[in-house]
Chain A
Amino acid sequence: QKEVEQDPGPLSVPEGAIVSLNCTYSNSAFQYFMWYRQYSRKGPELLMYTYSSGNKEDGRFTAQVDKSSKYISLFIRDSQPSDSATYLCAMSANQAGTALIFGKGTTLSVSS
């Protein structure tokens, strides 16, 4: 079993839809959870950063962490065509960035 599993998609939704992106993981030691957005041929951009369980909201984006289920989610409300990108989850068991483990990414397409 891979440490971090992420459905590659592609996921296609109409503009204005609510999007749910998910990752599961096997290492119960993970405490730090991140979501990155990567446009084609660009570097990943940090979207959300959470520590331990719970929710975090930033504008149209909400990150959820359920450590009991080893499951994290990113919700995008009122999706826009500019949200079309690949979304990568990443997680770490400690403060050192060396232990950052990435999912393979989910490709999202939002049509107008």
Chain B
Amino acid sequence: DGGITQSPKYLFRKEGQNVTLSCEQNLNHDAMYWYRQDPGQGLRLIYYSQIVNDFQKGDIAEGYSVSREKKESFPLTVTSAQKNPTAFYLCASSPQGPRAFFGQGTRLTVV
């Protein structure tokens, strides 16, 4: 089945630890995105990539890093520099045009 797969579904991070969230798509979409969703807030763009080996910061990139070595994969690393990482993280991809298609999300909690 075509789609966007995010893993893990739940992730726990200790203070000072880096963690990596996985996002894989088999839709052959060029563009991929990472959003953060907090209660009562809209989706906020962290990073996006429109082609392999290229990515740009979104509105809230501080404390996050990404890579885009393959078209299918766009992992997000939440670094220790991100002071408030507890949130619901959503990966999306897009064919040509503004429509974005989302994965099922990863819920990250700091313990």
Contact = CB atoms under 8 A, between A and B. Distances in A.
B102 A44 contact: yes
Contact of A95 (B41, B90, B98): B98
A88 B43 contact: yes
Interface stretch (A10-18, A59-67, A70-78, A98-106): A98-106
Contacts of B64: none
Interface string B23-59: 0000000010100000011110100101000001010
Interface string A44-72: 11100100000000000000000000000
Contacts of B90: 43-44
B42 A97 contact: no
Contacts, number: 69
Interface string A11-35: 0000000000000000000001010
B41 A104 contact: yes
Query: Which of A34, A41, A43, A95 has the most CB atoms of chain B within a 10 A radius of its CB?
Result: A43
Contact of A96 (B4, B40, B50): B50
B84 interface: no
A43 B105 CA distance: 6
Nearest to A93: B98
Contacts of A46: 99-101
Interface of B: 4, 6, 31, 33, 40-43, 45, 48, 50, 56, 58, 88, 90, 92, 94, 96-105, 107
6 contacts: A43-B6, A88-B42, A88-B43, A97-B48, A97-B94, A100-B98
